[in-house]
A = this chain, B = another copy of it.
Amino acid sequence: MARASKREEIAQAALEQFRTRGFNATGISDITSAAGAPKGSFYNHFASKEDSALEALERYAAGLRFDMLDAAGQPPLERLRAHFAFLGADTVDSGFARGCLVGNFGAEVADHSEEIRSAVRRGFQQWAAHIARVLTEAQEAGEVGAGLDVRATALFVLSAWEGALIAARADKSSAPIDAFFQLVFDVLLR
């Protein structure tokens, strides 16, 4: 029987390594040893580290659970809160080791790789569009004021989230994440 391809393990290990080490500090051998695969096998599946970083971003985005934002039957702002609570728990539960891959790649790689920059940009745009849609529903439901600039608010909330994760990881405390929930849900979107 032919040995099963290690592609899935390598792709998943790349996501984990990039999330905890960042792009430049992750070596191909970090990825392959985490995947239990020989180093050379990486290039059977990916043209370059950059190539696997682009797939890692896609996989990370798929794990952002945008479906939680769209779940019918729950008030819009509750869905938005549940979305960030789900993501925040991942960072807290990892002992503040894991941040957001979109934001981390944005901070680290955006200036060096046009392809990664474009993917980060697209990631932010899609995410902000999802948030904006929930805010529009919240507006229609009368949960937030009709005057709220939904598009700018979505961008702002996403920026605040990215910054809160970075500050929480540096602080190894959830204080910045707690401040995010307090200010976004008790003040900004009240």
Contact assessment for A171 and B107 in the assembled complex, using a CB-CB cutoff below 8 Å: no
Contact assessment for A103 and B156 in the assembled complex, using a CB-CB cutoff below 8 Å: no
Tally chain A residues at the interface, Cβ within 8 Å. 51
A170 contacts B by Cβ under 8 Å: yes
Min C-beta distance of A15 to chain B, whole Å: 15
* Main SS at interface, chain A: helix
Find residues 161-190 in chain A having any chain B CB closer than 8 Å to their own CB.
161-164, 166-167, 169-172, 175-176, 178-180, 182-184, 187-188
Find residues 138-165 in chain A having any chain B CB closer than 8 Å to their own CB.
148-149, 152-153, 155-156, 158-164
Find residues 84-115 in chain A having any chain B CB closer than 8 Å to their own CB.
97, 99, 103-104, 106-112
Min C-beta distance of A39 to chain B, whole Å: 20
**Residues of chain B with a CB closer than 8 A to A170's CB:** 106, 110, 117, 120-121, 124
A62 contacts B by Cβ under 8 Å: no
A22 contacts B by Cβ under 8 Å: yes
Cα distance, A153 to B21, chains bound together (Å): 30
Known: A21-B112, A24-B24. A164 touches B171 (CB 8 A): no
Min C-beta distance of A23 to chain B, whole Å: 8
A-B pairs with beta carbons under 8 Å apart, 28 shown: A20-B111, A22-B24, A22-B109, A24-B24, A99-B107, A104-B108, A106-B169, A107-B107, A107-B169, A110-B166, A110-B170, A117-B170, A121-B170, A124-B167, A124-B170, A124-B171, A125-B171, A148-B187, A152-B178, A152-B183, A153-B179, A153-B183, A156-B179, A159-B167, A160-B160, A162-B167, A187-B188, A188-B188
Residues of A whose CB lies within 8 Å of any CB of B are 20-25, 97, 99, 103-104, 106-112, 117, 120-121, 124-125, 148-149, 152-153, 155-156, 158-164, 166-167, 169-172, 175-176, 178-180, 182-184, 187-188
